[in-house]
A and B are shown apart, each in its own frame.
Chain A
Amino acid sequence: MDKERSFYERLKEKGVSRRDFMKYCTALTATMGLSAAFVPKVAEVFAAPAQRPPVIWLHFGECTGCSEALLRTQYPYIDELVLEVLSVEYHETIMAAAGHQAEEQLQHAVEKYNGKFICVVEGSVATKYNGGYGKVAGRSFLEIAKEVCPKAAAVIALGTCASYGGIPAAAPNPGGYKGVGDAIGIKTLNIPGCPPNPINLVGTVVNYLLLGKLPDLDESGRPLFAYGKTIHDQCPRRAHFENEEFVEEFGSEEAAMGYCLYKMGCRGPETYNNCPIAKFNDGTSWPVEAGHPCIGCSEPGFWDTMTPFYEEM
């Protein structure tokens, strides 16, 4: 407790309230899933980081939407995250270096921080044809994943592709794409969603800091506090469902009145995520609020199991 108290005191001295700190955690995605050896260092990392925790971010079969989602965090802003909180050693979308200098940086970081870095994986891994459908610097995603991921303190699969294969793995899955855990046979902490809500990472971090352990995961590797309930159970339109007040056509009077989208194909009853509570983009909205049914994007295999999207379940 002493440690915790002094940590918050120090934060306070820096003009950061406890509440601000909770917000601050929003963008601390990469501190999730730290190894046990890392625990005592966490408070120091926040208050006066002698060394910022190193992060290696790998892009595989992806659309960069997960990185983009992270860029939208406002507590803290991404510049604070990159300059003051984490040390993002390799991230193709933002790094200044290119070509062999970039690859040199990756090798250097993996060696220097062997066993200590957080590996965030975005995108799935092509496994057919020797991994030939996806390459960086002449090496397949598969080869890179096999080399880098086992050396990490923890591997965080960010987004549905990295977690479960996602869209490139939808039938007929031409490249044999798989989630990174499946592709190379490791356990990952999964933060699915297409894109994932970065706020789902906050809770993981807060849980870790306050309770000193990783959050409990469901059988799909997702933190239960964020993915423990269905969209349906948390939906503000739930009362309309109970009252059997349904939208049966877009643009209808019922749609304007915000009735339940179940009959329009809403996958909320089968989808575990906290979108109705957390919402997106600083709490601005979420798909059902925008009048569109949930498509179930945080469920494994949703591109095949949840389609056709506009047919009632």
Chain B
Amino acid sequence: MGKRVVVDPITRIEGHLRIEVEVAGGKVVNAWSSGQMFRGIEMILQGRDPRDAQHFVQRSCGVCTYVHAMSSVRAVDNAIGLKIPKNARIIRNLLHGAQYQHDHLVHFYHLHALDWVDIVSALKADPKKTATLADNVGNAQMGGAAYYRQVQQRIQTFVDSGQLGPFANAYWGHPAYKLPPEANLMACAHYIEALRLQARAARMHAIFGGKNPHPQSLVVGGVTSVGDMTPDRIAEFLYITKETQDFVKNVYIPDLLAVASFYKDWGGIGGTTNFLAYGDFPLTDAEPDSLYMPRGVVKKRDLANIGMAYEDKVTESVTRAWYEDGPALHPYKGETKPLQEDPKYRPDSGKYSWIKAPRYDDLSCEVGPLARVLIAYGKGHKDIKPVVDSTLQKLGIPAGALFSTLGRTAARGLETIAIGDAMQGWVMELVENIKGGDTQTYEPYEMPESAMGVGLNDVPRGALGHWIKIEDGKIGNYQYVVPSTWNFGPRDQKGQLGPVEESLIGTPVADAKQPLEVLRTVHSFDPCIACAVHVIDPDSNEVYKFKVV
């Protein structure tokens, strides 16, 4: 029996996550992932107006904002049998693309970078050498020795103040940090630049969505932002997406490659086995055929035989989660009841998480950037395949290294290149459409008394599905299975580990008191735990028996 190491809270994520690992012989031999909060948004949705659901579910997460609202209106669109107008499709895609650009940048620099970058080491860097390094690896607009000297001075002043704030008590100086001081300084400078850029990038949501976080321009049937389809608004959107993409290509990707080149061993750590993507960005009404990022399933890492993904093969298991026991069921039939008690954390044989365990065809599947990129790569996607091949070549690693923590982190950057570039084309498509006289943004409808619908998307963190059952014109049942439920779910009724649990096994841990390596793999999935936990009690009306204390 190895040593048990608990990391709780996992910081630099959304939500409340606890990770426990067992370490033996300097490696992780067992792992448990546990969601620590339950709000019950699906229970709250019961009996409400189907049109309102999007506003509730959007509050699942303020980091992956927008995406739940989108899947929700698509589920209701689908239940009604609506086809939304072309402008609405494009604007929904543009808002979603903006979320990708924003989210992936923030993840790399602000949630993940400090697992690889040692800020304290940056103080030892030579600013001149840093400038040279930056010129060699990237094409950033900001730079030069004076620039890096100023950044370094700023960090020094901060450290000298003795108030280290959010950077206090971290793993600085840990032996697993491999970057030279100059690379650390360069990354610190870009951490700060990216903080500023993300605030500007979020304005894309405000342009067609009124605000960010939690944009508010989607409705069942289309979008409401008809007044923003003006030349100045569209031009502003285009400008910001280009500015963001400039940073992605000239700073983010070069940094990613520079950092990766020091951590190539992580191309052999942190991999999983099966992958699922619903795909996203419909380029016409035809789904899944027209999806820019394709739908598919990879089983046992076999990229030569990518299957189609069908939503009816999704089930959720609650054997090891804090809900009353029952069989694994499809979301339309989900029968879940949260334990009405202070839940006991029993990782070894009992229940240990608020996150349920979704399975596709009974398989635990990783979702997210790596799943999407693998599926697109395997299908020979015209924009994804070249960037993946050139990255593998630059790093001098084989395609097999994609199944790893490094591959996951790289995939996030690589898909941002493709999606961000594609967005510019979608903006022009919107312009052409408006020029042609089509300003329709909404399709009227009658809400059916009873219907069922599903909204499938692939959002920055992975495959997202919302299922709605409308009864008497109200929400009879609502269920969503989100990316972090897939990735961070616990064991299922067969004992099969969740993807993150699987990925952690074999991870080296140099110092059990400072499990930096564990954080690397956990963060590579970009956890969003508030999204992951939300459960419904569909048929029993049990919810109404609760008494508010």
A interface list, Cβ under 8 A from B: 51-52, 54, 59, 61-69, 71-74, 77-79, 82-84, 86-89, 91-105, 108, 126-138, 140, 166-168, 170-177, 194-195, 249-251, 255-256, 258, 280-282, 284-292, 295, 303, 307-311
Kindly report which residue of chain A lies nearest to residue B345, judged by CB atoms: A138
B293 at the interface (CB under 8 A from A): no
Give the contacting residue for B206; candidates A92, A94, A108, A285; CB below 8 A: A285
Whether a CB of chain A sits under 8 angstroms from the CB of B494 is no
Q: Would A287 and B217 count as touching, CB distance under 8 A?
A: yes
Residues of B contacting A96 with CB < 8 Å? 11-12, 114, 119, 166-168, 170-171
Is B196 in contact with A79, judged by CB distance below 8 angstroms?
yes
Interface residues of B in 138-178 (CB under 8 A from A): 154, 158, 161, 163, 165-171
B binding-site residues for A, Cβ under 8 Å: 6-16, 18, 36-41, 43-44, 48-49, 51-52, 55-56, 59-63, 65, 85, 110-111, 114, 119, 154, 158, 161, 163, 165-171, 192, 195-196, 198-200, 202-203, 205-217, 219, 221-228, 338, 340-343, 345, 354, 439-444, 514-515, 519, 530, 543-544, 546, 548-549
Least Cβ distance of A20 to chain B in Å?
16
Point out the residues of chain A lying under 8 angstroms from B161, CB to CB.
51-52, 87
How near does chain A come to B172, taking the closest CB pair, in angstroms? 8
A-B contact pairs, 12 of them (CB 8 A): A61-B39, A77-B199, A86-B165, A98-B11, A98-B519, A102-B9, A168-B44, A175-B40, A251-B221, A251-B441, A251-B443, A309-B55
Which 4 residue pairs spanning A and B have beta carbons closest together?
A65-B62, A251-B442, A132-B342, A290-B210
A-side contacts of B169, CB under 8 Å? 97, 101-102, 104-105, 108
> If the complex has contacts A130-B342, A172-B44, A310-B49, are A98 and B10 also in contact, measured as CB distance less than 8 A?
yes
A residues in contact with B544, CB < 8 Å? 172
Other A-B pairs, 15, CB within 8 Å; known A78-B199, A135-B36: A52-B165, A64-B15, A95-B11, A97-B170, A98-B10, A100-B6, A137-B9, A167-B44, A167-B59, A168-B39, A168-B44, A195-B214, A251-B441, A285-B209, A287-B210
* Cross-chain contact B444 with A88 (CB below 8 angstroms): no
Q: A255 is contacted by which of B13, B224, B345 (Cβ under 8 Å)?
A: B224
Whether B8 pairs with A72 at a CB distance below 8 angstroms is no
Q: A287-B210, A291-B226 are in contact. Are A168 and B11 (CB under 8 A)?
A: no
Say yes or no: A290-B208 contact (C-beta < 8 A), given A134-B37, A172-B548, A255-B224. Answer: yes
Contact between B16 and A309 (Cβ–Cβ < 8 Å)? Answer: no
What is the chain A residue whose CB lies nearest that of B218?
A292
With contacts A63-B530, A250-B224 taken as known, whether A132 is within 8 angstroms of B213 at the C-beta atoms is: no
Q: Within the assembled complex, what's the spacing in Å between the Cα atoms of A108 and B171?
A: 17
The answer to whether A291 and B9 have CB atoms under 8 Å apart is: no
Q: Are A59 and B16 in contact (CB under 8 A)?
A: yes
User: Of B49, B61, B158, B168, which is in contact with the most chain A CB atoms at under 10 Å from its CB?
Assistant: B168
Instruction: Decide if A282 touches B203 in the complex (CB within 8 Å).
Output: yes
Complex-state Cα separation, A87 to B8, whole angstroms: 23
Tell me, in angstroms, the Cα distance from A131 to B215 when the chains sit together. 31
Which residue of chain B is the closest to A160 with respect to CB atoms? B59
Pick the contact of A64: B48, B165, B222, B530 (CB < 8 A). B530
Residues of B within 8 A of A52 (CB): 161, 163, 165
Partner of A281, one of B43, B203, B343, B345: B203
Q: How far is the CA of A138 from the CA of B343 in the complex (A)?
A: 11
A194 contacts B214, C-beta separation under 8 Å: yes
Task: Name the CB-closest residue of B to A49.
Answer: B161
Q: Is the CB of B11 within 8 A of A63?
A: no
Assuming A135-B16, A250-B442, A256-B439, is B206 touching A93 (CB within 8 A)? no
Cα of A281 to Cα of B240 in the assembled complex, Å: 13
* A74 vs B196: C-alpha distance when bound (angstroms): 7
Contact B165 A135 (CB under 8 A): no
Q: Which residues of A contact B338 (CB under 8 A)?
A: 133, 174
Query: Which chain A residues lie closer than 8 Å to B171 at the CB level?
Result: 96-97, 101
Closest to A311 in B: B49
Q: Is the pair A101, B217 in contact by a Cβ cutoff of 8 Å?
A: no
A176 touches B12 (CB 8 A): no
Task: Looking at the assembled complex, report how far the CB atom of A247 sits from the nearest CB atom of chain B, in whole angstroms.
Answer: 9
Bound complex: CA A94 to CA B168 (Å): 11
Closest chain-B Cβ to A288's Cβ sits at a distance in Å of: 8
Within 8 Å by CB of A290, from B37, B52, B217, B543, lies: B217
Contact assessment for A174 and B546 in the assembled complex, using a CB-CB cutoff below 8 Å:
yes
Which residues on the B side are within 8 Å of A66 (C-beta)? 62
In the complex where A281-B203, A308-B49 touch, is A89 in contact with B168 (Cβ < 8 A)?
Answer: yes
Q: Is A132's CB under 8 angstroms from B225's CB? A: no
Establish whether residues A69 and B213, one from each chain, have CB atoms under 8 Å apart when the complex forms: yes
Is A65 touching B214 in the complex (CB atoms < 8 A)?
A: yes
Taking the closest CB of chain A, its distance from the CB of B324, in whole angstroms, is 13
Are B163 and A54 neighbours in the complex by a CB distance under 8 Å? yes
Q: Are A93 and B202 in contact (CB under 8 A)?
A: no
The docked-state distance in angstroms from the alpha carbon of A291 to that of B230 is 14
Interchain CB contact under 8 A, B38 and A62: no
Q: Known contacts being A281-B212, A292-B219, is A168 close to B40, with CB within 8 Å?
A: yes
- Chain B nearest CB: distance from A59 CB in Å? 7
Residue of B nearest to A86 (CB): B165
A292 pairs with B216, CB closer than 8 A: yes
A174/B217 in contact, CB under 8 A: no
* Residues on the B chain within 8 Å of A98, using CB: 7, 9-12, 519
Query: Do B163 and A82 have beta carbons less than 8 Å apart?
Result: no
Which of B154, B199, B226, B345 interacts with A251 by CB under 8 Å? B226
**Contact of A285 with B207 in the complex, beta carbons under 8 Å:** yes
Q: What's the Cα separation between A80 and B226 when bound, in Å?
A: 37
* Partner of A93 from B11, B209, B340, B442 at Cβ < 8 Å: B11
Q: Which of A64, A176, A255, A289 contacts B14 (CB 8 A)?
A: A64
Our pick among B6, B48, B202 for the contact of A308 (Cβ within 8 Å) is B48
Cα–Cα, bound, A51→B163 (Å): 8
- Once the chains bind, are B9 and A290 in contact (CB under 8 Å)? no
Asked whether, in the complex, the Cβ of A167 is within 8 Å of the Cβ of B226, the reply is no
* Among candidates B6, B44, B110, B206, residue contacting A99 with C-beta atoms closer than 8 Å: B6
CB-CB under 8 A for A137 and B51, given A68-B213, A82-B166: no
A161 and B174 CA atoms in complex are apart in Å by 38
Is the CB–CB distance between A65 and B227 below 8 Å?
no
CA distance A292 to B91 in the complex (A): 15
Q: Which residue of B lies closest to A132 (CB)?
A: B342
Given A96-B114, A167-B56, is A309 in contact with B49 using a C-beta cutoff of 8 Å?
yes
Q: Which residue of B lies closest to A55 (CB)?
A: B165
The answer to whether B203 touches A308, judged by C-beta atoms less than 8 angstroms apart, is no
Which listed residue, A74, A136, A195, touches B62 by the CB 8 Å rule?
A195
Contact A290 B8 (CB under 8 A): no
Q: Pick from A74, A127, A174: contact of B40, CB below 8 A.
A: A174
B196 touches A290 (CB 8 A): no
* Residues in A neighbouring B444, C-beta threshold 8 A: 249, 251
Query: Are the CB atoms of B62 and A68 closer together than 8 Å?
Result: yes
